[in-house]
Amino acid sequence: MRAVMSSRERVYALLRREPADRMGLFEHFWPETIGQRWVNEGYPKDASPPEYFDFDLVSVGWGLNAVPLKDFSETIRETEDWIIIKNGRGATLRTWKNKSGAPEHIAFDCSTRERWEKVYKPPLLAFDPGRVNPDAFRSGIAQARENGRFCFFGCIHVYELMRGTLGDVVMLQAMALEPDWIHDFCRTYTDFYIKHLDYLFAEAGQPDGAFVYEDLGYKKGLFCSPRMYRDLIMPYYKELFDYLHARGMPVLLHTCGGITEAVPDLIEAGIDCLQPMEVKAGVDVISLARQFGDRLSFMGNIDIRVLESGDKQAIEAEIAGKMEALKSLGASYFFHTDHSVSPNVSFESYRHALEVYRCHCNYE
């Protein structure tokens, strides 16, 4: 039996693919899962999920505001159920007011390179200390250290920034027809991130790692070819990840969808852990572990649809089967669903899932 580690020690070991006492534990939740359903099913109203479930990782927040027009927000229309807002990226979006869901994309003002260079690029060129919140960051790091948990900051990077600023259609067209614009966008934001993170870390201290949220795929595969990602996106991933690695900070990458084809390039770019590996998009953690387990750690791939079913036998088969297979491969693994926990999952089903995890999580 391996010596018991603190959560922080365990996460570092798993991300470095070194021996650990057990598999890691973490999760993301829809806001209404706990706040609207589980509090009526026995979850303590004011409990913090990392503390209540004893997660190994905890977020200290996003740290900086990367919106070009950082103080701009205009309400276009509002009803009891939804609201349409034009934000500081120039995106006009409709979102639900009382439930989670992807926003409806209505319009994007930054639809040409001219608009990018005239309106949205200039505010990103100068260092602006008003874009960071060192006090909240510092407090989050201190609390995580006190509790012995691995703490991370979250951010999106160039691909999600482009989707949120240009919109999917203009972005994908520009990737094919105006690659110089894409390079300029990525160059601008990578420089922006590094100079603001330098300041944030100097003022607030440094978290243990980074969780980068980039959705590179959809249900049937990648949004564009692996070569296009390799030419236009991966160099800027590598630059940011090298910057973080030079500070001793491992990188966990969230990317939804069918992203299997991109995994070799993501490893080359420098990710340390892949999350969440959606089952319904054809991603298979066991296959990935066989191919890349010596170079990559894994978080997720527990089919959320099985937890939503409430079938305890099916939940046990899904979790135990994958965890035992991963242990046999010597893979570094964190228990997590293959997306996040929706309000379709009962509190009882999630607690049962964690019971199964704890029965199978120890490395021998």
pLDDT in tens, 90-129: 999 999 998 888 899 999 999 999 999 999 999 999 999 9
pLDDT in tens, 303-358: 999 999 999 999 999 999 999 999 999 999 999 999 999 999 999 999 999 999 99
To which residue do tokens 């595969």 refer? 221
Say which DSSP state 81 is in. Answer: S
pLDDT in tens, 142-166: 999 999 999 999 999 999 999 999 9
Q: What are the backbone angles phi and psi of residue 179, rounded to the nearest 5°?
A: -60, -25
pLDDT in tens, 190-217: 999 999 999 999 999 999 999 999 999 9
Indicate the fold that domain 7-68+121-360 takes in CATH.
TIM Barrel (3.20.20)
Residue 44's CB is within 10 A of a number of other CB atoms, namely 10
The total number of residues written for the chain in this structure: 364
168-177 and 179-204 helices, crossing angle to 10°: 120
- Is the predicted pLDDT of residue 132 greater than 80, yes or no? yes
- Domain ranges (residues) in the chain: 7-68+121-360, 70-109
Report which of 303, 301, 309 is spatially closest to residue 348, judged by C-alpha positions: 309
pLDDT for residue 101: 87
To which residue do tokens 């349409």 refer? 84
pLDDT for residue 364: 81
pLDDT for residue 328: 97
> What distance in Å separates the CA atoms of residue 292 and residue 287, rounded to the nearest whole number?
9
The set of residues, in sequence order, having a beta carbon less than 8 Å from that of 87 and lying 6+ positions away, is 67, 72, 73, 93
Amino acid at the residue 352: H
In which band, very low, low, confident or very high, does the pLDDT at 2 lie, cut at 50, 70 and 90?
confident
Amino acid at the residue 16: R
| SS3 readout for 257-288 | CCCHHHHHHHHHHCCCEEEECCHHHCCCHHHH
Q: What are the backbone angles phi and psi of residue 157, rounded to the nearest 5°?
A: -130, -155
Q: Across-strand partners of 152? A: 59, 209
| SS3 readout for 146-176 | HHCCEEEEEECCHHHHHHHHHCHHHHHHHHH
In which band, very low, low, confident or very high, does the pLDDT at 63 lie, cut at 50, 70 and 90?
confident
- Is the predicted pLDDT of residue 1 greater than 80, yes or no? no
In which band, very low, low, confident or very high, does the pLDDT at 172 lie, cut at 50, 70 and 90?
very high
DSSP letter for each residue of 243-257: HHHHTT--EEEEE-S
